[in-house]
Amino acid sequence: MADRAQLYANTYDDPNYLGELFLIGANQTPFLNMIGGLGGGRTKVTRSFLFPISQPWSLAGASQPAITEGESVTGQNATTTTRAQETNTVQIFQKAVEVSYAKQSEIGAISGIASVATTAGQPVTDELAFQKMAQLKQVAVDANYSFLNGAYQEKGDVDVAAKTRGIITACVGNNEVKASTTDLSKALIQELLRVMAAAGAVFENPVLLCNALNKQRISDIYGYAPESRNVGGLNIEQIYTDFTKLGVVYDPSVPADTVLIADQSYVYPVVCPVQGKTVFYEDKAAAGASKKGQIYGQLGIDYGPKEYHGIITELTTS
């Protein structure tokens, strides 16, 4: 038998409790917040799932010309500079919400430890609003993860799901430094910056994103604490390097064995709007005594030229 709490919110499976509400777990979305959030001012709009993200071209390696006077008179053969196109796709984010009429009305039914038989201290007095808020937060967490780690898949027929390519995925095999199962170090970060510089990274507004362990390691690597009798500890939030100033941000969705340097000036959320709406809630017809709806959005990420970003992989995770 299916778990009824997974199908809809009801009095039996989704009881009310007294006490303050706290959201627990690794639910932060720093990367998504930095690039403008869901439907923010930096959002780009596409009218199809597949969209272009860059048109890369390059020059030949630098060299000294050796052209004689005679050759200059006859002229040179033309050199054609070719271009390419890199693309990504938006994907569907969808969460259903359904609350029975009984559940929506029984705000005074308290389970667990209750000091008074009233709604005093019961923070959820509108179950539908709570479920909508929770699922919208879940969409944000899923988008943050997908924009970092998404595995690309182009939409085919109705049975093939479109999946956006994450910025970390785009860097694999490009600006990638493999640590070969060693700890994060200053030498590895410097090597990645050199690789990015050689690939043409502009270092306009780069940010280093990492998990909790590597955030602590960065503070150990770059930190210098003055002696004090009553203050201790370090929290490195910026690193000055030969190429740029790096912001340092903890993001729980960055893999434990990976560090990402992403240039925020070239990263945008992308939306394929539905009648002008980005991420939205709409009521749906319910078969019986319930209130039903869904949160829906078609979202992806535009990270610009992948050469402007870089990753360190295969780091130790403990």
Q: How confident is the model at residue 114 (pLDDT cuts 50, 70, 90)?
A: low
Q: How confident is the model at residue 236 (pLDDT cuts 50, 70, 90)?
A: confident
Whole-number mean pLDDT of the chain? 90
pLDDT at residue 189 in the model = 98
Please give the radius of gyration of the chain, using alpha carbons only, rounded to the nearest integer.
26
* Residue 1 in this model has a pLDDT that exceeds 80: no
Q: Among residues 132, 129, 127, 130, which one has the least CA distance to residue 108?
A: 127
Picking from 21-25, 48-52, 192-196, which range would have the lowest pLDDT averaged per residue?
A: 21-25
Q: How confident is the model at residue 226 (pLDDT cuts 50, 70, 90)?
A: confident
pLDDT at residue 2 in the model = 44
Q: Are 97 and 131 in contact (CB under 8 A)?
A: yes
CA distance 193 to 170: 17
Tokens read off for 11: 């009095």
pLDDT tens digit sequence for 40-96:
778 999 999 999 998 888 888 889 999 999 989 998 899 888 888 999 999 999 999
Q: What CA–CA distances, in Å, run from 166 to 56, 73, 86?
A: 18, 52, 13
pLDDT at residue 125 in the model = 85
pLDDT at residue 3 in the model = 52
Q: Are 107 and 13 in contact (CB under 8 A)?
A: no
* Residue 209 in this model has a pLDDT that exceeds 80: yes
Q: Are 290 and 166 in contact (CB under 8 A)?
A: no
pLDDT at residue 52 in the model = 95
Q: Among residues 222, 198, 218, which one has the least CA distance to residue 259?
A: 218
CA atoms within 13 A on the CB side of 86: 17
Provide CB contacts within 8 A for 12, sequence distance 6+.
4
pLDDT at residue 287 in the model = 86
Q: By 3-state DSSP, what share of the chain in percent is helix, strand and coil, each rounded to 5?
A: 25, 25, 50
CA distance 150 to 89: 11
pLDDT tens digit sequence for 126-184:
989 999 999 999 999 999 999 999 999 999 889 999 999 999 999 999 999 999 999 99
Crossing angle (nearest 10°) for helices 212-222 and 186-199: 100
**pTM, entire model:** 0.89
CA angle at residue 286 from 285 to 289, to 5 degrees? 140
